[in-house]
Amino acid sequence: MHGETYALTLLATAKWITDLGVMWLTGVCVFRGVFERRAFGFGSGSAVDCQLARHAGLALVVLVVGTLARLYAQTYSSFGLDEPVTGELLRLVAEQTRWGGRWVAQGAAVIVAAVMAALVQARCRSSWWLLAAATLVVVATMPMTGHAFAYVDGVLWPMVLQVGHLCAAGAWIGSLFMLLMVGLRQARLASAGEEDIGGGALISAIADRFSPVALTAAGTLAATGLLTAILYVEESSQLWRTSYGRLLLVKTGLFGVTAMLGAYNWRKVRPLLTRPGGVRRFRYSATAELLAAAAVLAVTAWLVHLPMPHE
């Protein structure tokens, strides 16, 4: 693989891992906030709470790995084409470059979130609220090493749009992942290990509560994505004449696939949850939606390392 292509692959892979961690952590916080109801068996100290705390810890492990991988990838991109990446070069990029200063802010936010997750594990009072606040800080720092800070007409609007974009993606995709990992587990327990009407009734109630969240988040995601594209793409011809524009079209198409799968789950699969086999069908269709979303994240991770059309 050509050196520059390899560097871009490293950058995109590290960004993809980081974004997965952000989506996961955001989904945990949103899911816990929206579905904390005794009727669902959710609440402080419950088995569900323990599962969510474990997921928060795993999401932060992914975030830490992604954050460190981004520093390595950035260092390789800057120096590794000519010489091996060493600890001294890593320190140089982290401490003496503008990108590194913003990366340090992101790393600090991840560390704070990890401390809050530890407090959640210890069941400290208000720890979930503190973790949610720390997660917002993590999300707010993510655009600092992307196109938002390189936009020629100022960083305010690109930052606002990107933070809203990330929050919406986490609320939709991250919560859907939690619905599969935690909600379906509760459904199985409610039906004593069988996917009968009892389990379907519980997952149906959770899905009914999830639907408005997903619809609002998907709409916000589409709106912020469109406005960001308008900012970065100055002429329509740049959509097919530049690498950025062509990949943006690919991302838009994959987002459309994800949205259609979500609409199918909402309109066709959700009403069948209380019927025999409905939970199994929902598991398959929701998994397809998550895989499509993961593909969107992969394309996005590559997109943010391409020059914007005006560059």
pLDDT per residue over 246-265, tens digit each? 999 999 999 999 999 999 99
How many CB atoms neighbour CB 172 within 10 A? 29
pLDDT of the residue at 190? 63
Q: How confident is the model at residue 195 (pLDDT cuts 50, 70, 90)?
A: very low
Residue 170's closest CA among 144, 204, 132?
132
Q: Where are the alpha helices (DSSP H) in the chain?
A: 3-34, 47-75, 87-96, 98-121, 127-141, 156-169, 175-178, 184-190, 197-232, 238-241, 243-264, 278-303
Q: How confident is the model at residue 294 (pLDDT cuts 50, 70, 90)?
A: very high
Q: How confident is the model at residue 144 (pLDDT cuts 50, 70, 90)?
A: very high
pLDDT above 80 for 306 = yes
DSSP state of 142: G
How many CB atoms neighbour CB 135 within 10 A? 29
pTM confidence score: 0.92
pLDDT of the residue at 44? 58
